[in-house]
Amino acid sequence: MSQDSLTVGSQDWRTDYVLLAALWGASFMFMRMSAAEFGPIATAWTRVCVATLFLFPLMLWQGHLAEFKAHWKIVLGFGVFNSALPFSLFAYAVIHISTGLSAILNAVVPLFAAVVAWLWLGDQLNRWRIAGLFIGFFGVSLLASNQTHFHSAANPDASLWGQYTAIAACLLATICYAISGSFTKKYMPHLSPLVSASGSQLGACLALLMPALWAMPEVMPSPKAWLSLLILGVACTGIAYILYFRLINRAGPAKALTVTFLIPVFALIYGVIFLNERVTLSMLFLGAVVVFGTALSSGLFPKKEIIKS
């Protein structure tokens, strides 16, 4: 893939947009299929190792080695919050709650990102964005309460404790992503996307190495689990990163951010078709409330009220 393919802005971005949402939506399904046999930590570690093997040669091919050497400490450290922690937390969550719910909770990343940017970077919040924060957090609380009283095949762990900890893990993962966003803006604003992506995956691989070796399954996982991890690492992480960076260049960061809202649609569809998960009307309604509040808090609308920091 040439450098031009990552930077051309005149091409239609809609195909990348839908494909990225489809890949990231599928990541929850493949995490479930992998974590069921590998466990959460080993799943996350193998995922970032595969992604590193895919992305690092691409970074070298693009001629970014000198840039990586100049910033390797900050990039590797960035991988802890950007990949190691959230990947492990979501891999744990999908074992205990449905992949659809996990994806809906993942959609609150911009919600926490607005809070982190306000506290850390001093970004201003107008009345619409503040209202969005309240709506989003209210929707999440209702969704969590509703989910823990809904037991079905979509929730293998029937205990309330398992479901509560899984929901908490999803929310903690989204906070990690939110912190990573502000960290990138403050300390890595001019780094090449491939350097950030490749370095962060390598950093996550190193951070999870010892925990993963300790948590490796005693029984060899099935070929199905290995295939799921391979797809998770190459397609849902490596290729998805490339699509995401190209989407930012072609459509701008504001439009790229909205892909978060489309991911649960694909995750819900995959869960119903391939995992026999159930989706209730209350889950869809409360999920829509969360997405609406998140969109408001992100300043996506109404445009006239947005205050730029």
Q: Which residues of the chain have pLDDT under 70?
A: 1-11, 147-158, 252-254, 300-309
Closest C-alpha among 176, 162, 186, 180 to residue 97? 162
Task: Output the CA torsion sign for 35, 41, 43, 48.
Answer: positive
- Decide if 99 contacts 287 (C-beta within 8 A): no
Cα(20)–Cα(18) distance, rounded to whole angstroms? 5
Task: Output the CA torsion sign for 243, 247, 248, 254.
Answer: negative
Cα(138)–Cα(130) distance, rounded to whole angstroms? 12
pLDDT tens column, 32-50: 999 999 999 999 999 999 9
Q: Specify the pLDDT at position 253.
A: 63
Cα(90)–Cα(81) distance, rounded to whole angstroms? 13
* DSSP H helical ranges for 208-298: 209-215, 223-233, 240-251, 253-257, 259-274, 281-297
Q: Specify the pLDDT at position 93.
A: 95
**Torsion (CA) 102, 103, 107, 109 in degrees, nearest 10:** 60
Write the DSSP symbol of residue 208: T
Closest C-alpha among 68, 16, 84 to residue 196? 68
Grouping H, G, I as helix, E, B as strand and the rest as coil, residue 196 is helix
Q: What is the largest CA-CA distance in the chain?
A: 58
Cα(234)–Cα(239) distance, rounded to whole angstroms? 6
Residue 222, domain extent: 3-305
* DSSP H helical ranges for the chain: 3-7, 14-38, 40-61, 65-70, 72-79, 85-96, 99-106, 109-116, 127-147, 160-187, 193-207, 209-215, 223-233, 240-251, 253-257, 259-274, 281-297
Closest C-alpha among 81, 10, 40 to residue 211? 40
Closest C-alpha among 36, 35, 55, 32 to residue 45? 35
For residue 109, the tally of other CB atoms under 10 A from its CB is 23
Q: Specify the pLDDT at position 303.
A: 57
Q: Specify the pLDDT at position 8.
A: 42
Buried b (16+ CB within 10 A) or exposed e, 257-273: bbbbbbbbbbbbbbbbe
- Decide if 118 contacts 297 (C-beta within 8 A): no
Burial class of residue 72 (count of CB atoms within 10 Å of its CB; 0-12, 13-18, 19+)? middle
Give the helix/strand (H/E) hosting 195: helix 193-207
Question: Count of domains in the chain?
Answer: 1
Cα(300)–Cα(145) distance, rounded to whole angstroms? 28
